[in-house]
Structures are given as C-alpha cells and as structure tokens.
Amino acid sequence: MKEHQLITTKDGSHTIYVPELNEHYHSSFGAIQEAQHIFIENGLKKIKKPVVTILEVGFGTGLNCLLSFLEAENTRQRIIYHAIEKYPLEEEETDKINYGSILKATRMYKRIHSVDWLNEVTVNGNTLFKIPYDILKTSLPGNYDIIYFDAFSPNVQPELWTEKLFLKLFQHLRKEGFLVTYSSKGIVKEALRAAGFFVERLEGPEGKRHILSAGKIFKGNPPKHIGDEKPKQAPKQAPNV
C-alpha cells in the first residue's frame, strides 16, 4: 500500500492524498476554505441553540471538528461532537498538518487528535467522542442537530452514499436537524430524498459549484436553483356535484 501524501492546497492549508484511491481528503482549492464554507457557514452557523449536537461521518484530519470548536468559542455555544472514522490517521501524520498553526489553535488541534478513541473527553469546554468503526455496522450513540457527511466521494465509497445509510442517519436527526455534504451528485440527491429528506442545493466553495443541505422538515422557501423541487403535493379533490 502506498503511503499517504501531504499536499498543500491553494489557501496554504494541508490535505492528504491517498494514492491507492486517487482521492484527496479536501479540495485542492483550499482545505480550510472548503470546510469553513460547507460545514460552518452552511452548517453550524445555522443553529442558534446554546448546546449543539453534531455527528461527523468521516472524521479524517479532524479539520471540521477544529473549526466547529473554534466557532463555538465565538458564539459561546457548547458542542457535543461525535465522529466516526473507519480508518483513523496515525498521530505522526496529523502532527505534520498545519491547521493548528494557520488557525492559531495548535494546542486544541493536538488535543483533538491525542485523546483516545471510544473515550468521551472534554476539549475546550466541548464534548468529543471518536468512534473508530464502520458506520454501516455501528449503532449511533445519540440524536443530532446536524450531521457533517464528509465521507470519501461516491466514486470511491459508493456503499456510504445510499438510501439505507441516509435512512439510518435520518432516524438519528432531531426534528429540526439537517445534514450537510459536499457532494451534489444526482445519485446523492435521489438517495437522500428516498430516505425522507427534503434536499436543497446551495452555492459551493471555490472550485465547486454546489453542495447539499438536507433536512427532515421542508422550510417552505422557493428553490434557489433549478432542480431543487418542492415536495410533491397531494392532488386536490374534485368538488362534490
């Protein structure tokens, strides 16, 4: 198996390239700018509750977790963060990643990676619980306000972008909860809708046209892009004559 490669992206932040999969963990246009746009601007910032429960599918480099904890500092929210990762990175790999220095949060980033898996810990006033298992075979430990769906792409991990898994996630979302993901492929939208989600296509970060937000409740807003249909309405009954 070829070793992972550390890559510097356009915004100066690192990502990891997996040669055997021909897949990057983040966009080459900028790891931090991509994660901030998708998971913070269109995710965490939409929730105004004092305590926010998050599930991340695909913990990877821990960037989304770090950005979430930093955002919570600004908003004085507390985060309960559950993260699932079937293939955790080695500490010698994460020690080389520059998110901590760029975001001036080196100690927090090291803490996120140094805590033991399957051990609930406190990080900067937030709760972190990392799960090193296959989400397809794992019971989820809670119900969530938001799900960061950040698995490898449908081309690489098609078994994760299915109605079956999205239904499982749907059942662990709170009533006002929603899922956000970087992929806006047609098969992803179809699988989300089949699982019961109302899907909205949003503007993507640099280098990507669209991302998806999918909720349990239809918000009643008009679609922002062609293809984001409102849910079908039941046909009106003909009047009695």
pTM beyond 0.85, yes or no: yes
pLDDT for the residue 241: 35
Write phi, then psi, for 28 (nearest 5 degrees).
-70, -15
**Domain 29-215: top CATH class:** alpha beta
pLDDT for the residue 148: 98
DSSP H or E stretch at residue 14: strand 14-18
DSSP 8-state symbol, 38: I
Cα separation, 60 vs 89, whole angstroms: 7
Per-residue pLDDT reduced to its tens digit, 104-150: 999 999 999 999 999 999 999 999 999 999 999 999 999 999 999 99
Contact 57, 39 (CB under 8 A): no
Per-residue pLDDT reduced to its tens digit, 6-52: 999 999 999 999 999 999 999 999 999 999 999 999 999 999 999 99
Maximal C-alpha separation, the chain:
77
Sign of the four-CA dihedral 65, 67, 73, 76:
negative
Mean pLDDT for 195-217 is: 96
In the predicted structure, residue 229 carries a pLDDT above the cut 60: no
Cα separation, 21 vs 80, whole angstroms: 32
Of residues 1 and 41, which shows the higher confidence score?
Answer: 41
Q: What is the CA radius of gyration of the chain?
A: 18
In the predicted structure, residue 175 carries a pLDDT above the cut 50: yes
What residue segments make up the domains of the chain, in order of their start? 29-215
Mean pLDDT for 49-57 is: 98
